[in-house]
Amino acid sequence: MANMAQAVRMALHYAEENLGVTDIFGEDVGAPLGGVFTATQGLKTAWNTPLDERGIIGMAIGLAMAGAKPVAEIQFVDYIFNTIDLLKVAGNTCWATNGDWNLPMVVKTPVGSGIRGSLYHSHSFDATATHIPGWKIVIPSNPLDAYGLMISACQEINPVMYLEPKALLRIKGEERIPGEPDNDKLLSKMIDAPLGDRSQWKPQWPALEAYAVPIGKGKVVRAGSQVTVVSYGRTLPLCKKAADDLAAEGVDAEVIDMRTLWPYDWEMIKGSVEKTGRVLYVNEDTEVTNFGEHLVRRTVEELFYKLMAPPRLLAGKFIPGIGLADPLEMASVPQQGDITAAIRSLASEQP
Amino acid sequence: MSKPRLLNREEESLPLERELLVRMHDLMVKARVLEERLIQMYKQGHGYFWIGGPGEEAFNVPLGMLMKKGQGPAYDYLHGHYRQSATMLALGEEPIGAMRQMKNVVTDPYSGGRNFAGHFSKREWNIAPVSSPIEIQYTMAPGTALAQKRHGGDGISIVTGGDAGTAEGDFASCLVWSSRKGNELPVLIIVTNNKWGISTPAETQHGETHVADRGKAFNMRTKTIDGNDPINAYLELKEAMEYVRKERKPFLMEAMVSRLYGHSSASGANMVGNEQDCLTVFEARLEKHGILTRKEMDDLRNRYSEDMAAMARQVIQEPMPGPETIWNHIYAERK
Ligand SMILES: Cc1ncc(C[n+]2csc(CCOP(=O)(O)OP(=O)(O)O)c2C)c(N)n1
């Protein structure tokens, strides 16, 4: 099975060939490296930019204005913060012009902890991204969704923020991407750039098929009846594993992968919480003014009388960064044990 | 700064055809009267904020006249700022649109009552939306220019902004992105230098002698010009545009201009006496050369004043946008 970086790359290849993507660019995105996470290796429209995040976002806006279809990369989300006002402008251009201009552009960027990235390679962006109206925001938790969400992003006529959980970029999926060969070694031979001299290398792309994960639709990744767990990105597989583990203790948890943070699948969350009466939101952004807080607020306002226990949020600690030492990172953002404990405790809470 | 061509010498004749001079003058007057009307509307409570370009007509009119107007990469893009009503009029825009934006009525053609005066936008003519953060337009111009370079033809991207704003990194971004060797882009980078931030004099904010000099480090053609002389501005812009159109390379132009009503309504929007008025100087010249008489020019101004007073009376009767429309156009819909 492809890993997420390969899935993104294949989706971008598909999008160059079939969806009119004209430019894939960012720092070290083009040859020879093909992206610091290899997600853009071998793509024909990939090119390297100056080391200038504001210039990258501005370039994307300009290209989108002029009828091109750009996919811009910010090398690590930690470096997107100096472009916030440009992101705001990209998000408000359609509204500000009363619908005259729209910007079909994608910004992709790796997010979150999990690679021992210390202070400036571990940040999350979900809370900030969901605070910028006019964008659609997606975050896959497995390679197939990464492929399908990128296809949808490239079909959009509005700005899309594509958040890549960097801890998951190297993890293989459980489902094949339509068109992917069934031999992983073969896939790697075909599309991974060789080490050393790459000047003569060209990828051999498999015959990929269209597969779109619709923006705005979540997915029930594990059905359950006693507690709802809503997550996305790096913490999603941890939630799934926790739910599977807890089944042995007689706790039956339903796990929802949001996949899109805006506009999000409230109907799916609502239906599940109405069924279980208990909900835990899990993400790793800092907990104060967290996107999960919005979900908690909405749950309280709309579903209060269906609840058996207060809705809970498990998120990153409200501290200025993630320290490099293993115990520091582990203590800063939710880990497997934290999630299991939180579900267990919520499931047993009685009114 | 380049020597204003032929200025301050006894000129035999003006170096542009009479028809062009008359048209340029007409547009300058129209733009001036529009801005004065907008200021008046603001002062009478028919708007919350005024910002505009009285004093920059001598530069902004020729710019609009010389632009290749249309939609898409075959035509010029303008990434402008909030002092460019004169450019809009020179492109053929009706002045009532600016008044509608001032009054933020539902008919405001640029933002539907959502944005400040002077925040133009018109996709049909490649007028990128003006937005308030200073200088961000400089990051976008290389984007449209790249699409234009690929598209072929002679369309260029034009970006304008103020001198104080060149301290922002976005200005440097534009210099870097438009001048990479082998990847030069057809951008006409303009700085209209009125020698002020809001209240901060230029000499306290820049170390460089001319803003245009910064382009030299990027192997760019550069020039500082007198933007208060419309004939000079026309000729300089024409030359610079021809270069960018043909060579597909950037050009950095700094135009020295006046700021006749201060920064905006935030600083009172009152006429300042100590700046050169490009219109007065031009009119004296036109009169001297027998292009137009004083009476013709006065009549023109009076006619525009009356027309625009009538437009303003109409605009203030027009409805405000409905509160439910806040939900419109958050996203574009596929048609
Ligand atoms: C990024 C940003 N910072 C501050 C402001 C507030 N502001 C509006 S106009 C202005 C001065 C701009 O001066 P200059 O760039 O010389 O342009 P001018 O208005 O003189 O034409 C400032 C500071 C702003 N709009 N955007």
Q: List the domain boundaries for chain B.
A: 9-325
Q: Is the CB of B134 under 6 A from ligand 1?
A: yes
- Residue that the structure tokens 């899935």 belong to: A7
- Residue that the structure tokens 């953060």 belong to: B133
Q: For residues A213 and A226, what is the distance between their CA atoms, to the nearest angstrom? A: 28
pLDDT, average across residues B133-155: 98
Cβ partners under 8 Å of residue A267, min gap 6: none
Q: Is B120 on the interface with A (CB under 8 A)?
A: no
- B259-290 pLDDT, tens digit per residue, is 999 999 999 999 998 999 999 999 999 999 99
pLDDT reported for residue A348: 96
Interchain pair A89, B131: CB under 8 A: yes
pLDDT, average across residues A110-139: 97
Q: Is A87 on the interface with B (CB under 8 A)?
A: no
Cβ partners under 8 Å of residue A111, min gap 6: A77, A123, A124, A125, A126, A139, A163, A164, A165, A166, A233
Rounded to two decimals, the ipTM of the complex is 0.94
Q: Which chain B residue has the Cα nearest residue A100?
A: B123
Q: Any catalytic annotation for residue A131?
A: no
Select from B183, B242, B249 the least CA-distant residue to B221: B249
**Ligand 1 site-directed mutation target among B56, B198, B272, most atoms within 8 Å of CB:** B198
CA-based end-to-end distance of chain A: 45
Show the tokens assigned to A51. 């080391």
pLDDT band, very low/low/confident/very high, at B10 (cuts 50, 70, 90): low
Q: Which chain A residue has the Cα nearest residue B174?
A: A55
How does strand A253-257 pair with strand A219-222?
A: antiparallel
Ligand 1: which atom is nearest the Cα of residue B197? 13
Q: Is the CB of B163 under 6 A from ligand 1?
A: yes
For B:291-330, CB contacts with A below 8 A are 328-330
Q: Is B107 on the interface with A (CB under 8 A)?
A: no
Q: Is the CB of B233 under 6 A from ligand 1?
A: no
Share of chain A above pLDDT 70, in %: 100
Which of B104, B125, B136 is the best substitution to test chain A (most A C-beta atoms within 10 A)? Answer: B136
Task: Tell me the count of A-B CB pairs closer than 8 A.
Answer: 136
pLDDT, average across residues A225-241: 98
Contacts 24+ apart (CB under 8 A), B304-307: B304/B29, B304/B30, B304/B33, B304/B34, B305/B33, B305/B37
- B171-226 pLDDT, tens digit per residue, is 999 999 999 999 999 999 999 999 999 999 998 998 999 999 999 999 999 999 99
- Distance from residue B204's CA to the centre of ligand 1 (Å): 15
Interchain pair B139, A61: CB under 8 A: yes
- Distance from residue B134's CA to the centre of ligand 1 (Å): 5
Q: Is the CB of B165 under 6 A from ligand 1?
A: yes
Q: Is B87 on the interface with A (CB under 8 A)?
A: no
Q: Is A160 on the interface with B (CB under 8 A)?
A: no
Ligand 1: which atom is nearest the Cα of residue B136? 1
Interchain pair B170, A61: CB under 8 A: no
Q: For residues A60 and A160, what is the distance between their CA atoms, to the nearest angstrom? A: 12
Select from A182, A172, A153 the least CA-distant residue to A6: A172
pLDDT reported for residue A351: 86
Show the tokens assigned to A120. 């400036």
B9-325 topology per CATH: Rossmann fold (3.40.50)
Whether pLDDT at B6 is above 80: no
Q: For residues B82 and B84, what is the distance between their CA atoms, to the nearest angstrom? A: 6
Q: Is B37 on the interface with A (CB under 8 A)?
A: no
Cβ-contact A34, A22 below 8 angstroms = no
pLDDT band, very low/low/confident/very high, at A280 (cuts 50, 70, 90): very high
pLDDT band, very low/low/confident/very high, at B8 (cuts 50, 70, 90): low
If DSSP codes are grouped into helix, strand and coil, which group holds residue B253? strand
Q: Is the CB of B164 under 6 A from ligand 1?
A: yes
pLDDT, average across residues A210-237: 98
pLDDT reported for residue B11: 75
Q: Which residues pair with A314 in a beta bridge?
A: A282
Q: For residues A148 and A129, what is the distance between their CA atoms, to the nearest angstrom? A: 20
pLDDT band, very low/low/confident/very high, at B2 (cuts 50, 70, 90): low
pLDDT reported for residue B5: 55
Q: Is B194 on the interface with A (CB under 8 A)?
A: no
- Distance from residue B198's CA to the centre of ligand 1 (Å): 7
Q: Which residues of B touch A66 (CB under 8 A)?
A: 72-73, 77, 143-144, 146-148, 151
Interchain pair A99, B111: CB under 8 A: no
Whether pLDDT at A4 is above 60: yes
pLDDT reported for residue B206: 84
Interchain pair A98, B334: CB under 8 A: no
Q: Which residues of B touch A58 (CB under 8 A)?
A: 136, 138-140, 142-143, 170, 173, 177
pLDDT, average across residues B231-239: 98
pLDDT band, very low/low/confident/very high, at B123 (cuts 50, 70, 90): very high
What is the pTM (predicted TM-score) of this model? Answer: 0.96
Ligand 1: which atom is nearest the Cα of residue B259? 20
Q: Is B82 on the interface with A (CB under 8 A)?
A: no
Interchain pair A134, B72: CB under 8 A: no
pLDDT, average across residues A7-35: 98
Q: Which residues of A touch B110 (CB under 8 A)?
A: 97-98
Q: Is the CB of B194 under 6 A from ligand 1?
A: yes
Q: Is the CB of B196 under 6 A from ligand 1?
A: yes
- B84-108 pLDDT, tens digit per residue, is 999 999 999 999 999 999 999 999 9
Q: Which of A121, A123, A131, A294 is catalytic?
A: A121
